[in-house]
A and B are shown apart, each in its own frame.
Chain A
Amino acid sequence: MVQEFCRWLGDTPWSVGLRESIWIYPIVETAHVLGLALFAGLAVMLDLRLIGLAFRGIPVTQFFARVAPWMWAGFTLMVISGALLFSSDPVRLQGNVFFAIKLLLIALAGLNAAVFHVTTYRSVAAWDVAAAPPRRARLAGLLSLTLWAAVISLGKLIAYARS
């Protein structure tokens, strides 16, 4: 099913055109790297605030309100450019073990963020201005840092897989 879809996608004129383009493919890769700086960079900053390692003078809710929109802009750029990169070579990526692990880790990072938002973040009013947020918030921040670092590393390794 997945294989069939990837084979179909890889044969579309869209995919072939992207794969063989001289300019568009490098531009999409560049967008992916700039999106990385925007998304992961600001995610690291949010995580540092959660862990209590930086920006202690700023309430957590205000930090999120002012920084998260830019982080989401970066995330959107990453997803769009990432989807384009995938569509340029779906058959090879589908068989790439690093790519598979990368997707899994992105899902885990999303799950971590979602769980944090519906549990620990609910009580943020109680620790909004605390220099060091409660242990569960710090753990969520640390886990987020670790997972995104692993996602970035695996993204780099995709280029090295034999397939």
Chain B
Amino acid sequence: MLQFAQWCNHSPLAEAIRDSPWIFPTLEIVHLLGLAVLGGTILIVDLRLLGIGLKQLSSAQLAAQVAPWTRAALAAMLTSGALMFTSEAIDCYNSQPFRVKMVLLLAAATFMFTVRRRVISSGTGASSSWIDRLAGITSLGLWAGVAAAGRAIAFW
């Protein structure tokens, strides 16, 4: 793990990002814009699961509507995130919040593509069952944790 971080940190790509005054800020901006879009698409579906958002469409229909935007935002976040990591891989390796963020990210993404997906596709429509609500609140909690831990990287 440490060796991988060192290899990243010393790669020409990492040096290029560090040497440029504008690449890192641009990556941060892409990461934030991705956060906004991803946050929106996740909220639309999770609020529906909780029964306190849109009701005209089922969770499955809403999830299908936002799917391309979720994928695009995830791609933007993962790409910009990976590049930022590369440029300061050793710092990240030593950062406790970064480790927490990666664990939460893994948990949130796994939950999204397994349990949440299944709950959404088995939803009956009109009302929210307790399983729907539990899935919605778990998803919101995990993603909020990812965002909070991400913010904390800069502080500790």
Residues of B within 8 A of A34 (CB): 144, 147-148
Interface flags for A15-41 (1: CB within 8 Å of B; 0: not) read 000000000001001100110111011
Q: Is the CB of A30 within 8 A of B54?
A: no
- Interface of chain A: mostly helix, strand, loop or mixed: helix
Interface residues of A in 119-163 (CB under 8 A from B): 148-149, 152-153, 155-157, 160
- Check: B106 CB closer than 8 A to any chain A CB: no
Q: Contact flags (1/0) for B6-34 with A, using CB distance below 8 Å?
A: 00000000000000000001001100110
A48 to B56, CA, bound (A): 17
Contact residues in A for B147 (Cβ distance below 8 Å): 30, 33-34, 37
Report the separation of the CA atoms of residues A26 and B152 in the bound assembly, to the nearest whole angstrom.
Answer: 7
Which of the residues A43, A66, A152, A160 comes within 8 Å of B53, measured between beta carbons?
Answer: A66
A105: shortest Cβ distance to chain B, in Å? 14
Q: Roughly how many angstroms separate A33 CA and B147 CA in the complex, as a whole number?
A: 7
Q: Verify A153–B29 contact, CB threshold 8 A.
A: yes
Q: Given A67-B53, A70-B53, are A41 and B25 also a contact pair (CB < 8 Å)?
A: no
B90 at the interface (CB under 8 A from A): no
- State the CA gap A57–B62 with chains docked (Å): 10
A59 contacts the other chain (CB 8 A) = yes
Segment touching A, from B40-48, B108-116, B117-125, B128-136: B40-48
Q: Does A54 touch B at the CB level, under 8 Å?
A: yes
Query: Which residues in window 26-78 of A have CB below 8 A to B?
Result: 26, 29-30, 33-34, 36-38, 40-45, 48, 54-55, 57-59, 62-63, 66-67, 70
Nearest-neighbour CB distance to chain B for A45, whole angstroms, equals 5
- A149–B37 CA distance with the chains assembled, in angstroms: 10
Q: How far is the CA of A33 from the CA of B36 in the complex (A)?
A: 9
Cβ of B71 < 8 Å from any Cβ of A? no
Is B56 within 8 A of A38, CB to CB?
no
CB neighbours (8 Å) of A55 from chain B are 54, 57, 62, 65
Q: Tell me, in angstroms, the Cα distance from A23 to B136 when the chains sit together.
A: 29
Please tell me if the beta carbons of A160 and B25 are within 8 angstroms of each other in the complex: yes
CB contacts (< 8 Å) of A43 on chain B: these are 40
Contacts of B85 in A (CB 8 A): none
A156 touches B25 (CB 8 A): yes
Complex: A135 Cα to B148 Cα, angstroms: 39
CB of A67 within 8 A of CB of B54, answer yes
Chain B minimum-CB-distance residue to A56: B65
Please state if A66 and B54 are interface contacts (CB–CB under 8 Å).
yes
